[in-house]
Chains A and B, each alone.
Chain A
Amino acid sequence: MERFKIDTLNNKNRMSTQELLQLIQAKIEQGVTSFEINACGQHDIGGASYSRVKGENLKFFVKNPGQRLGAMGMKGTQIIVEGSVPADTGWLNSGAEIVVKGDCGDTAGHCSASGEIYVGGCVGARSGALMKHDPQFKTPELWVLKNTGSFSFEFMGGGIAVICGYGCEDMKSVLGERSCVGMVGGTVYVRGNISDVADCVEIKALDKEDIDFLNKGLQRFLEKIDKKDLLKSLTSNWSGWKKIQPVKDKKSEPRMSIKEFREKEWIEGGIFSDFMKDDYKVFELGGTGMARCRIPQHNSAECINCSLCEKKCPQKAISRVSGGYIADAEKCIGCGICAAVCPKKAWKMLENNKDL
């Protein structure tokens, strides 16, 4: 079918995004399926539209589009851009095939949930962020010949991204900095150096299935962006490729316990050990021995051996010895009942003032 041509600049009068999109929709409703659009920065070209002609796809050949090219793109839509496009290419893509032969701005493929995006250059920051995959539909794919900006694939929940790192061999990271933060699903294939990806993902070597997928996919991708001749250089050495996936059942590494830190790394014996040896044992409330706030002392001279203390001691700590009674430090908690019940005040409670 013949392409319907729209030139959005007419005698220095620029068609607004609204005018352009309404014109396209009107033509689609009239049965047009193929458009050639000479845009000047209009947004959302090729998005959210579907062919009214059975068996025929919608095709958009676009030059110089604005942001959100193919936004909310639907199955059965194909968009081809000869040069580069600004931000949000394929935003919320739900099935369209978008081919950009140049570069994409930031957030390319942001939230895309189906369809394919092929980029013949690089993509900007936060590209592939929040990609997701609804199993009822085809897996979304984002193919990029060169590299991505920082923070890409943030919060990615599904889908496949392929970053070929072509011509980026000297880069420290073809994924920029802090990519894959919060990634919980999907796969990013990447060729070239990567650094500073989030710790919620793991970087793995490719298996046979991955290589099969890439072998097939790269051929298709390079055809789309007219770079068939690069196939060999991208597929000749699979060890240069890695795949990034979220860590399954991520368990955060347990921190070293303070006890272990104190015993292994802290100053041996503690910082006060040159003066006092602390065993770091903990006294429980109501403990015996040195844990007592007060310690009973018996004065035999006053004792009349009435055994009241022995009978009333709740800890059964008091026993009779020749000349009086003693309290067993292992049992006595220092409650003072012995002193209270003694008719002769033979028991005295002494403050346990010993310094640590």
Chain B
Amino acid sequence: MTKDNIFMKASNIKKVYAHSMGQLEILRGVNLEIKEGEALAILGSSGAGKSTLLQIMGTLDRPTSGELVCDGRDLLVMDDEELSKFRNAEMGFVFQFHHLLSEFSAIENVMIPCRVAGENPKLAQEKAMNLLEFMGLADRAHHYPNELSGGELQRIAIARALVRSPKILFADEPTGNLDSQTSLKIQDLFFQLKQEMKLAIVVVTHDLAFAKRFPKVYQMKDGQWVHP
């Protein structure tokens, strides 16, 4: 951690795709600093590059150029094994779709990151159950994804993202696939989690109302920030 409590810093991030008609610039030298426990939203229309930025910051994709430092470590020099461990320990992800594994029950889906980290299966199950209780889903722990509603599935996906107590949570349109009532509940859950777990949250959304609830909102257009 730096003196300014900057947990993650992305500098001059560029992402260019080779295209039959030439080169397609998705990100044009984006900079972003995220402080410890900070919550921010990234707004933008489709194709603005906000999801690509989130994926690069979450090490799910690599930039064409730029620097990415998290918790004092240069993420772009890490190999696959190191990055996987880092993701498992420090980062959580929530997507528009829940992406739960259909062969695993709710509690098993939540405990997967703990098992991947090599935690004792019993302890992992205990942690997963505590989180499901916190989410109000204890009675759904042994249900399979096809037996759960959209809101429940998304809450389980959030529990899976948080079970390893990450320092940062990346969410890409986490309410994009939910009805307005369930969406509000999930939004509330994010802010409750931020308070209780002191984790940094980066949310990419189309939803202006959701974005406005964040203390810091960035807007992106054509692969760069739109300055107010």
A associates with B: no
Interface residues of B (CB under 8 A from A): none
**Chain A residues near B (Cβ < 8 Å):** none
